[in-house]
């Protein structure tokens, strides 16, 4: 009998945890939905003395992201060039992390995967998720 109680308690606790994670995921995704203009990127890896900065002026193109519920349209110089799927997961300290499936290797612009921070109309993806991360900053257009 105690095994049956233990089974129900464990099942209940697991259900509560997944509902919280689903609620967090939905809330974070809803905050992220919209249209964004790429402002700048900062890139640094171990051994580099300086951070490399890039923006539309230094790269010679503009990028707009249209973030929907499960995918992101990438618009380069007013032309849609890719649609990529993404999902939001959470770190152990409940920080939302965007995971983006990057298109083919020769694609000249990608969206960083990593924790993201939304401050007003500025969203930053902290791409230091790996050794060669690129922090990307976007401004919400709508």
The 3-state DSSP class for residue 46 equals: coil
Average pLDDT per run of 10 along the chain, which is 142 residues long? 42 44 58 93 75 88 94 93 90 88 64 88 78 82 90
Yes or no: is domain 2-140 CATH 2.40.128?
A: yes
- Give me the pLDDT at residue 80, please: 93
pLDDT value for 63: 93
CA distance linking residue 134 with residue 125, whole number of Å: 8
Residue 52 pLDDT: 83
Say whether 74 sits in a helix, a strand or coil: strand
Domain extents in the chain:
2-140
Task: Tell me the whole-structure pTM to 2 decimals.
Answer: 0.72
């Amino acid at each position: 009998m105690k095994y049956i109680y233990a089974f129900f308690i464990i099942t209940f606790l697991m259900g509560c945890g997944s509902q919280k994670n689903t609620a967090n995921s939905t809330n974070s995704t809803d905050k992220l939905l919209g249209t964004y203009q790429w402002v700048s990127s900062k890139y640094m890896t171990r051994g580099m003395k300086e951070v490399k900065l890039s923006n539309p002026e230094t790269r010679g193109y503009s990028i707009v992201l249209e973030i929907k519920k499960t995918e992101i349209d990438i618009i380069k110089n007013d032309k849609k060039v890719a649609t990529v799927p993404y999902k939001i997961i959470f770190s152990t300290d409940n920080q939302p992390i965007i995971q983006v499936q990057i298109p083919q290797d020769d694609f000249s612009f990608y969206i960083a995967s990593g924790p993201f921070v939304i401050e007003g109309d500025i969203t930053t993806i902290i791409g230091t998720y790996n050794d060669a991360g690129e922090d990307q900053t976007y401004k919400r257009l709508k």
